[in-house]
Amino acid sequence: MSQTALSEPVAGAAPLAAHRPLNAAVGTAIGATAIGAFLPWASVGSLSFNGTEGGGLLNLILAGIGMTALLVARGRRWGMLLNVVTAALAALIVAVNLSDVERFADSIGTVSTGIGLWISLVGTVAWLIVSVVGLFRRRRPSA
Kindly tell me if the per-residue pLDDT of 5 is higher than 90.
Answer: no
| CB-based contact 37:60 (threshold 8 Å) | yes
Q: Are 56 and 120 in contact (CB under 8 A)?
A: yes
Interval 85-131: pLDDT, tens: 999 999 999 999 988 877 766 666 678 888 999 999 999 999 999 99
Contact criterion met (CB below 8 Å) for 118 and 58 = no
Average pLDDT of the chain is: 83
pLDDT, mean of residues 80-86 = 95
The two counts, helices (H) then strands (E), for the chain are 5, 3
Whether residue 81 has pLDDT greater than 70: yes
Give SS3 for 48.
strand
pLDDT attached to residue 66: 95
Query: Distance from CA of residue 83 to its chain's centroid?
Result: 7
pLDDT surpassing 90 at residue 31? yes
pTM of the model: 0.78
Q: CB-based contacts of 8: which residues, under 8 Å, 6+ apart?
A: 76, 77
